[in-house]
Amino acid sequence: MRLWLLLGILSILPAFGNRGAEIYTEHCASCHGDRGQGVADEYDEALVGKKSITSLAKYIHRTMPEEDEEAVVDEDARLVAEYIHKSFYSPEAQARLKPVRKALLRRTQHQHRRAITDIVQSFRNRAWMGDEHGLRGHYFNKEKMNNRKEALVKRVDPTIDFDVHKKHGVEALDPKAHSIFWTGSILPPETGEYGFRIKTPNGVRIFLNEPNQKKDAFIDAWVSSGNQMRTIEKSTFLLGGHPVPIFVEFICYKEDKSSLLVEWKPPHGTWESIPSRVLYTAGSQKAAIISTPFPADDASLGYERGSSISKAWKEAVANAAIEATATIFDDIDELANTKPDQPDRKDRLRKFCSEFAFRTFSRPLTSSQQKVYIDDVFGAAGDDYETAVKRSLMLTLTSPYFLYPSLNRNEAGKADSYSTAAHLALALWDSIPDKHLFEAAEKNQLSDDRQLTDQLWKMLADSRSKAKLQRFFHHWLNLSEKEDLDKDPKLFPGFNEQIIADLRTSLDLFIDDVVWSEQSDYRRLFLEERLYLNPRLAEFYGVPEPPHDGFEPLPTPDKTRAGIFTHPFVLTAFSYHKQTSPIHRGVYLSRNVLGRFLKPPPNAIEFKDADFKPNLTMREKVTEITKDESCMACHSIINPVGFSLENYDAIGRFRTHEKDKPINTVSEYPTPDDTMVKIAGPNDLARLAIESPGAHRAFLKHLFHHLIQQPTNAFGYGTMGSLHETFMNSNFHIRNIIVTIAKDTAPR
């Protein structure tokens, strides 16, 4: 036999034959099962986890088997660790034993709403907002109530906060007879219910998401009464990352007082002047926004996905289709490019329905689809073609070809360029392809890596991508469900809902700064020493006020900040009402950010502050409550992480003492390989997040799930390893890895 062939055969044989399996069978299988599945009344938990072979060997050497801890030590422990790790313990082994398949998923509620809005929007074109923030203001003097002469001034106003008796910068403005109108767009940062409020003693009309000023105003306060100050509120549902037009008309005629303040209350926010960063001078088209409530999507795997089918979901789908059909039909002649008395109106409406179905299904209709959704509907309607339009729209919006994006295949059941386009739009936008993607699909220009990469980088610049990424970071940081951040007002005076809303904005601005910078460097999420602060936050946290009213990145007096680990919003979210919570901070950071595997606690123990002596520090209390050996299996990881942040109180302010005792933040932390390292503060946590492959993979896993909504192993065992390598080779470039994830998972 040739030497090279012999060496090849030997290289694939397990070292020491089956010795590891033999030792496991003799000493371990009676408690853990022959394949680590567990044994009733012995150790019924499956033997699976994320420890390395080295770490497993150390654990076996120290503790196994329980009845004779000296039976499996040293080299035997290593052989057993190697055997179980490769056979059934590790995620890779589990993936081989239980292959993961891609699930058939429906659209989530975010994807459902977004898609309907964008389908209708595609008939109007989508505006590019540009970079000019604020609204265009036009200032006039008045001679009569409804007479506008030549404008005195046309300028860009950062927000709408006008008072004729304050410095307004418009020379020759008649203080008792003038009018102003503002035009532009609002780009909401997140999806949800937005309140709008005006304060004025004068006449005002606001048209929101309605470019036609001949229709009813969103807020109509045109008729004032006695020049008395009044406040009027109204709310509406808006989509994050989708611009809507705004037109504000204001008049003062023979009145002593003249002022107008326009405010909003975003989801998770408080009343404030609409910030300039969400206002744009560019106009935009009306958006068909669906506000139908949907049941919560399944999140049992740690991320939202459209896997559950319920009666409530079916009703929501039907109601959303009804709402969308009514909204579309209100503007049907505009969308179908026809008129009520046009001779060929029926043909144009029929053509519109066919094109609508094509865009909804994200591919040209098959002959059978054309028959079901268009021909049969219009054929049965006779001359009542308006009813046919409504029926066709309803059928299309409740069709499986819309509800289940993965059904996007050609007639042979194969993926093609239209399947690829639909995947890219869903991954980055939660939506359907736009005009450019459809054109690329039609020309078969989505077939190689370069073409896909070019398309994805263009798509990333869209505001829908930014809105989706903002939702990802709130989910990754486990902040999506953190609604009640109130603290004891006696212990934390001044910490109110305005401060909380400002802190949320501060965190969002910091993340945006990192992600959308040229470097887009994941490591900077943990290295930034500054906080985005406005004057209110700067005063509260004892920082010199910024020179402007908005948010600016400012250094803090403690100079010990470490990005998201020490951002006050994150620290506040993982604290109790009256004090810090090292356990909450430690669990979240260990699991989501550092990528550590934590089992559920064997016994759920409620933390009751009254059970402890009043002079104990929080570290002393947590140490006492978690000292049991069964607790320390996980708390040996959790506690050091939580203790390292004890220099920050329950609202994220730096401190050095608690209960008149110096705060101790130093602990010994076991790495995944059971190497003990010292953690003395947030900078040590930052080093772990930056240097640890487990932390990198945790971030990539959460990002992958948010974009694709499928397990990584459904795309092959090596998916995560390949992504990790790409991530490191690109200097941890966040946007680059997003492009890679979308590209590598695209059906082709």
- Per-residue pLDDT of 1-30, as tens digits, reads 444 444 443 333 444 457 888 888 888 888
Residue 135 near residue 181, CB atoms below 8 Å: no
Confidence of residue 506 (pLDDT cuts 50, 70, 90): very high
pLDDT average, residue stretch 587-595:
93
What's the confidence (pLDDT) of residue 479? Answer: 86
- DSSP assignment, residue 35? T
Cα–Cα distance between 583 and 626 in angstroms, integer?
10
pLDDT average, residue stretch 84-91:
87
DSSP characters over 70-126: TSS-HHHHHHHHHHHIIIIISHHHHHHHS-------B--HHHHHHHHHHHHHTTT--
- Per-residue pLDDT of 386-399, as tens digits, reads 999 999 999 999 99
Cα–Cα distance between 409 and 423 in angstroms, integer?
11
What's the confidence (pLDDT) of residue 482? Answer: 62
Cα–Cα distance between 350 and 336 in angstroms, integer?
9
What's the confidence (pLDDT) of residue 536? Answer: 95
Say whether pLDDT at 45 is over 80. Answer: no
Helix (H) or strand (E) holding 397: helix 385-397
Could you tell me whether strands 177-186 and 244-253 are parallel, antiparallel, or unpaired per DSSP bridges?
Answer: antiparallel
Residue 686 near residue 563, CB atoms below 8 Å: yes
Cα–Cα distance between 661 and 677 in angstroms, integer?
25
pLDDT average, residue stretch 162-183:
93
Residue 727 near residue 713, CB atoms below 8 Å: no
- Straight-line distance from the first to the last Cα atom of the chain, in angstroms, rounded to the nearest whole number: 44
Q: What is the number of other CB atoms lying within 10 angstroms of the CB of residue 676?
A: 11
Task: Read off the tokens for 629.
Answer: 């050996």
What's the confidence (pLDDT) of residue 444? Answer: 93
Give which of 40, 18, 39 is closest to 84, Cα–Cα: 18
pLDDT average, residue stretch 26-49:
83
Of all residues in the chain, what percent carry a pLDDT higher than 90? 72
pTM (whole model) above 0.95: no
Cα–Cα distance between 716 and 590 in angstroms, integer?
26
Burial class (CB in 10 A: 0-12, 13-18, 19+), 230: middle
Cα–Cα distance between 574 and 580 in angstroms, integer?
8
Of all residues in the chain, what percent carry a pLDDT higher than 70? 97
pLDDT average, residue stretch 642-658:
96
Cα–Cα distance between 239 and 268 in angstroms, integer?
14
What's the confidence (pLDDT) of residue 144? Answer: 76
618, amino acid identity: M
Three-state DSSP state, 617: coil
Domains and CATH numbers, the chain: 14-97 (1.10.760.10), 135-280 (2.60.120.1560), 295-460 (no CATH), 469-476+694-744 (no CATH), 497-691 (no CATH)
Tokens 């995947």 map to which residue?
423
Cα–Cα distance between 675 and 669 in angstroms, integer?
8
Residue 33 near residue 39, CB atoms below 8 Å: yes
Average pLDDT, the chain: 91
